[in-house]
Amino acid sequence: MSIQAISPQQLQNLLQQQPDTVLLDVREDEEVALCALPHHTHIAMNRIPLCHNELPDDVPIVVYCHHGIRSLNVARYLENAGFEQLYNLSGGIDAWAQAIDPAMPRY
């Protein structure tokens, strides 16, 4: 199984259809303080091995970071840990800010 990429527009649609989708933000604390998606779960990338058991395994999980590289690595890790409904936000929160929420601060 490979990690499915999801565009900001597809994510917006998914959240309307499945509001219990987990938005897993794997950025550092200082990045999250600048901007974040609503109702996100924050676990910094380096804490995933210690904390991934806190995540539900019966709902979709969309992993995101700044541009989508770190989140893809985390999604692969979670896939190896047995999670199945995994998505990586293409372009990360930066793409979300450009396409969906232009008022969101960018960095």
Catalytic residue among 65, 72, 75, 97: 65
H-only helix segments in the chain: 8-17, 29-34, 48-51, 69-80, 92-99
Burial (CB < 10 A; 0-12, 13-18, 19+), residue 46, is: exposed
Structure tokens at 106: 């960018």
Per the annotation, the verdict on 51 as an active-site residue is no
Would you say 63 and 24 are in contact if contact means Cβ atoms under 8 Å apart? yes
The residues assigned a catalytic role are 65
